[in-house]
Chains A and B, each alone.
Chain A
């Protein structure tokens, strides 16, 4: 049967191969080699050494570095994501697709999507494939889809009764209604960066243009608004907070729990997800082997922590 399958003629196979090779070769030429994932052993050794030194230095220093040792995961990192420390659900994307993680740690794969984002109240998810924008329920049921080329950075904003989705398609910023209708171009020269909806608004969108300028616009009228740009858009405040709490590290952009008490911080080099309590006394919880848990070769992205069901 293999021979039969190999004998099936495919039109333009040679041309397709050469076209693909030119794209792959260009992508390879542009890639910036990164250091391979660090082994835990040297990190753990450094952490333990620091603990010893800190212990000799001062009690407060020892406390801080004990926590670092805890985060490093040598002794206490959980081997799997058994539960979330706060109510809500995590949205995760990995090589294997998009996943929803429930508060009890159970995971559901939604499908082979590259990026995903919650709707404002967590009732829906907007996700992307290379040439498709898809709205689906947290159970994975597709509500509608829109064929658009090169879809990236979908963001869903709005109120209980009126929502819109902003996204980039082939380098253009577009907006579509939460029901998949009324898709339109908003800006032909946005920066390759996720836009941000003003909290509680389906009309006011904040985004950056390729020239570096930041725009706050009413997407219905196109009018530019004179409003203060939120710091969350200008500077990664939660990332700074995570760095303050965990120490310098190459952390991924954190997400906040719905009750604002916890940050979930991805730590790619350690292949860990770290939960950090930011109010009411610091607590840390580390979960190891994140890539394996989401069947991914690259480190998964934590896209959002939304809304108790």
Chain B
């Protein structure tokens, strides 16, 4: 509740021209936006571009932003949809296999490597649903709304994704 109030205050401040308002929004939301993008695209540079573009879109549309709505879901929808699109495009272009640009795990077979590898084996649309549910903690209904999918599709992607990942969590 307090976080929601703080966020609304930051949006209001940013709309009024306060740089501290936009910085507060950035510091609050960028880490999870970037992580969400990375977990879908598995490419640090692309994740940086995607999260940055989402914030630039926020700046462009700041004056029209409805302060009655939370900022996070709006940003996350942009991030996740762009991440899915980017991954599809890369697949179409036949670029390098996933994980090429992921740093080597600290230890072979560590949690990072195995979970990331298992995530990479999922289609990007499934990864996005897993990230929205388990990193950003949206409900299946909210995910359906964010991605424009039927709720049944979200549930089935969650089930299949978790089946694939359960050995690693």
A67 interface contact, C-beta 8 A = no
Give the nearest-CB partner of A15 in chain B.
B48
A56 interface contact, C-beta 8 A = no
Give the nearest-CB partner of A35 in chain B.
B63
List residues 48-82 of chain B with CB under 8 A from any CB of chain A: 48-49, 51-53, 55-57, 59-66, 74, 78, 81-82
B134-A8 in contact (CB<8A): no
A19-B103 in contact (CB<8A): no
A13 interface contact, C-beta 8 A = yes
A24-B103 in contact (CB<8A): no
B61-A16 in contact (CB<8A): no
Given contacts A132-B89, A298-B64, contact A4 B31 (CB under 8 A): no
Give CA–CA (A111, B84) in the complex, Å.
10
Q: In the complex, identify which listed stretch (A25-33, A201-209, A257-265) lies at the interface while the others stay far away.
A: A25-33
| One of B48, B60, B85 near A112 (C-beta < 8 A) | B85
Give CA–CA (A12, B59) in the complex, Å.
24
B115-A4 in contact (CB<8A): yes
Q: What's the least CB distance linking A23 to chain B, in Å?
A: 6
A155 interface contact, C-beta 8 A = no
Q: What's the least CB distance linking B133 to chain A, in Å?
A: 9
Q: How many B residues are at the interface, by size bracket?
A: 35 or more
B19-A36 in contact (CB<8A): no
Give CA–CA (A20, B169) in the complex, Å.
31
Which residues from chain A contact B106 at a C-beta distance below 8 Å?
9
List residues 118-156 of chain B with CB under 8 A from any CB of chain A: 131, 134-135, 137, 148
Which residues from chain A contact B168 at a C-beta distance below 8 Å?
4
Give CA–CA (A187, B54) in the complex, Å.
30
A7-B111 in contact (CB<8A): yes
Using a Cβ–Cβ cut-off of 8 Å, how many residues does chain A contribute to the interface with B?
Answer: 47
A37 interface contact, C-beta 8 A = yes
Give CA–CA (A212, B85) in the complex, Å.
37
B44-A8 in contact (CB<8A): no
Q: What's the least CB distance linking A154 to chain B, in Å?
A: 16
Give CA–CA (A9, B107) in the complex, Å.
12
A147 interface contact, C-beta 8 A = yes
Which residues from chain A contact B6 at a C-beta distance below 8 Å?
none
A6 interface contact, C-beta 8 A = yes
A31-B59 in contact (CB<8A): yes
B63-A6 in contact (CB<8A): no
Which residues from chain A contact B47 at a C-beta distance below 8 Å?
10, 16
B5 interface contact, C-beta 8 A = no
B64-A5 in contact (CB<8A): no
List residues 1-31 of chain B with CB under 8 A from any CB of chain A: 14-17, 19, 22-23, 26, 30-31
Which residues from chain A contact B131 at a C-beta distance below 8 Å?
5
Given contacts A1-B169, A10-B38, contact A112 B82 (CB under 8 A): yes
Which residues from chain A contact B52 at a C-beta distance below 8 Å?
19-20, 23-24
Give the nearest-CB partner of A271 in chain B.
B64
A48 interface contact, C-beta 8 A = no
| One of A1, A2, A134, A295 near B148 (C-beta < 8 A) | A295
B116 interface contact, C-beta 8 A = yes
Give CA–CA (A17, B52) in the complex, Å.
9
A12-B112 in contact (CB<8A): no
Give CA–CA (A257, B35) in the complex, Å.
45
Which residues from chain B contact A35 at a C-beta distance below 8 Å?
63
List residues 266-286 of chain A with CB under 8 A from any CB of chain B: none
Give the nearest-CB partner of A20 in chain B.
B52
A253 interface contact, C-beta 8 A = no
| One of A17, A28, A131, A145 near B59 (C-beta < 8 A) | A28
A238 interface contact, C-beta 8 A = no
A224 interface contact, C-beta 8 A = no
Give CA–CA (A7, B64) in the complex, Å.
36
B115-A9 in contact (CB<8A): no
Which residues from chain A contact B165 at a C-beta distance below 8 Å?
1
Q: Other than the known A12-B44, A28-B19, what 10 A-B pairs have Cβ atoms closer than 8 Å?
A: A2-B135, A5-B39, A6-B35, A10-B34, A13-B31, A20-B26, A20-B51, A35-B63, A111-B85, A131-B49
User: 18 A-B Cβ contacts within 8 A?
Assistant: A4-B111, A5-B115, A6-B35, A6-B135, A10-B44, A10-B103, A11-B44, A11-B103, A19-B52, A20-B34, A20-B52, A24-B59, A27-B56, A28-B19, A95-B61, A129-B89, A297-B74, A298-B60
